[in-house]
Structure 1
Amino acid sequence: MKLFSRILNTLLAIGILCTLIAAIGSAITKEPVLLTVIRSNSMSPVWERGDMVIIENLKEKEAVQNGDIVFFKTEEGSLADKGWIAHRVVDRNVDKGFITKGDANEYTDQRDGSGLIERDWIAGRALTIGETPIVIPKIGYLSLWAEKYQSNPYTLPVIAIVLAIIIAIGELKSGRKRKKTNKGMELQLIYIVGGLTISVIMGATMLASGQRANLFYEVSSQGQGVLMGSAVGILKVGDEVTRPLSELSNGGFFKLIGAVTSDDKQIKLSHTKLSLSPGQETDITFTVNAERPGKYESSIQIGLFYPFLPPSFIYFLAQKSYWLALAVVSLVPGLPLMIYPLFDRKMRRRTIKVLRRKRRTLRGILPF
């Protein structure tokens, strides 16, 4: 029974870890990573709504074959507003694109004139054993349920707080029943993993609410012009152009701290640091001052952070690096749980004893 419990706990931990990696990876890359939840029955009976599928992310020039179940997101046509779609490739033209179809659908995706699926739109394909995709049945329903509340930025933090309460209650109960026998570092690991879980959830929430805009434009000494795909185009030296960037809103119950940064000194931002009260909305714009001729590929990062640290310090970190600010702010709520074993005298002594015992064991194994 103990062995079964350990196996079950290990599988549960691996599942949670993979889900967190997939969520964070998807938030960073803006495409499915490692795992994805199925939201429709268009591929039944291969998989159904609520199932979770393991993804093989494809390299830029990796070939796609007939029969592959691919994950793609179109940039034009009637499928452009459907988000990420997982359908099977039923025909292909290496130069022009792919024809796709859901196994449960009567017609191909291209029947309504939406156009062929370009290779650049395909992020990955279903990982298979033989010809059978690896599917984890129905485990994705929790994610689908959570999506109903994802517009509220406090959903995941509330889940994190609930996890912390569960850990605390478990510790109180086990403290009453705990025998004097040494349990090693199990309890310390519970605190550390619990704190890390809270920090990861907080970080994933803030990461999902952040935005990154990639901006390319050209400054010319000759004159203005249109640059395909650019929000600014070709500017003449001395020109000044202002464009809308984003509309930030706070749909939660607590204040959020915003930090807007850019790596381009020719770009001026209407807001660099701001506080969003509950229900408040703010329009962010940027202005390009064309000073130096050349072609530019710039980025503008918008970060929304929970007020765990002073706003000025959060902005200071964001100026150095958005990822640095995200990591530091995320660690704050989980840090007390992670370092608590250092301040509890019994756990600290137990940890020292275990480390000494491990060191003696290691010395006995090593040949020197």
Structure 2
Amino acid sequence: MRRGFALIISISILIFSFSTVLGALMNRPVFVSYITSNSMEPTLSKGDLIFMTPVFFSLEKGDIIVFYSNGEWVCHRIFSEISGGYITKGDNNIATDQQSGKDLVKKEFIAGKVITFLDRPVKIPQVGNYVSEVSEFAWKHKMLMLTLFFLAGLAEIMLGGDKKRRKKRRSRKSLRLHSDQVFLILTFSLLLLATFSGTIWIGSEKIQYGVTSAGGLREEWVLPGQVFQRNLTISNNLHYPMIYAVKGGENSAIDGYFVLWPGESKTLTVTIKAPIETRLYEEKIIVAKYFPLLPPEIAYRLFSINEYIPVLMIDLEILALLAVIHMFGGEKKYYRIRIQPGSFKRKMRNFQLK
């Protein structure tokens, strides 16, 4: 009984940790999310941890959803559905989100539907405050988290097995690796390299401008509400072709994909609608480049959902290819690595004596 309960707790912690880190790496909620305001009081309070399902067949009035709107993730209730999207509202708000100036919520911007029990959302109070800190750390240290997952998997491969096998291994003076283990180590290393490269190739280009009543006196000054254009040049400085995908920011309109060969450049025209408030602005244009291992159109469609999904799909494609190679790779055998206990200490002692 205790062992079963401990197993359930361990699996729950593993799923929760994986969802939190994966969501931070993808910059979107995955299975779990947390409330950041009091707009859903008294149903949900700030700091509550909620659970959601990313797969849903239909949405109805009254469902609580997590969606992306105007640069942030929001958890509100569906107020009504009209042609073109959903109207949403916080339980504690007087007006709907759309009456407050936000866009209609389209299905492609919905991360998931909040899980309920007896018409009440399943939640854990105040735990969301700690999740937000973990998510923020994971997002700032993406490569550290990926490296930790890699090392954890590598440790499981090298040290996995029951206690008897571990005791036998301690008594040996050599490390015995099966060809399957060697394959997994090499696969993990290659996937880590591909993930690292794919992650650092996702960035943004910044276009700065000022909104002022003196718009037009200088090139970077525009009038409030003015629609203007700026050019953005993208170059491929690598030694192999790459797929490029671009996505506009909150006030800019540019979306598309293209392939650049080594040394090639492409100039894009970005259309920007200036806000009404007069001040300095910085428009971020997301620019991502991927290995040409996916059809460009498919890579762009995945990029439109989230810029990190093509990296994951490329990793899966590499994994499938290596699995096929390993499957038909010939005879399986063991490799033995000799280990001499204390040899390092003896060498250091001799070095000090000299």
User: Which interval holds the TM-score relative to the shorter structure?
Assistant: 0.3 to 0.5
**TM-score of the superposed pair, with normalisation by structure 2:** 0.46
What's the TM-score once normalised by structure 1's chain length?
0.45
